[in-house]
Amino acid sequence: MADVHVAEELWLTGMQPEGILERWFVADGALVRAGEAVATVRIGEALHDIASPTSGRLTVLAPVNEVIDPGCIIAEVHA
């Protein structure tokens, strides 16, 4: 299993202490490939795509419009 997390580095250029999970590109339980964009998050005015770290079946842990913090886990990928 691999965690899909929102990298802390995305907050380095902004002043926002948190972000918002804007959209899932794939459904819960879908098969994903390593490097595939699975979600997008908004931090301040910027949108960032979040990629799957590995291939497998995605388990969504955070719903759309969830407030997210630096480094938080939003999903898991099971091989």
Local confidence band at 14 (pLDDT 50, 70, 90 cut-offs): low
Q: In the chain, what are the domain boundaries?
A: 2-78
Q: Domain 2-78, CATH 1.10.12.10 — does that match?
A: no
DSSP string of 9-77?
GGGTT---S-EEEEEESS-TT-EE-TT-EEEEEEETTEEEEEE-SSSEEEEE-S-TT-EE-TT-EEEEE
Q: Is the pLDDT of residue 51 over 80?
A: yes
What local confidence, expressed as pLDDT, does residue 17 receive?
A: 80
Its pTM stands at: 0.92
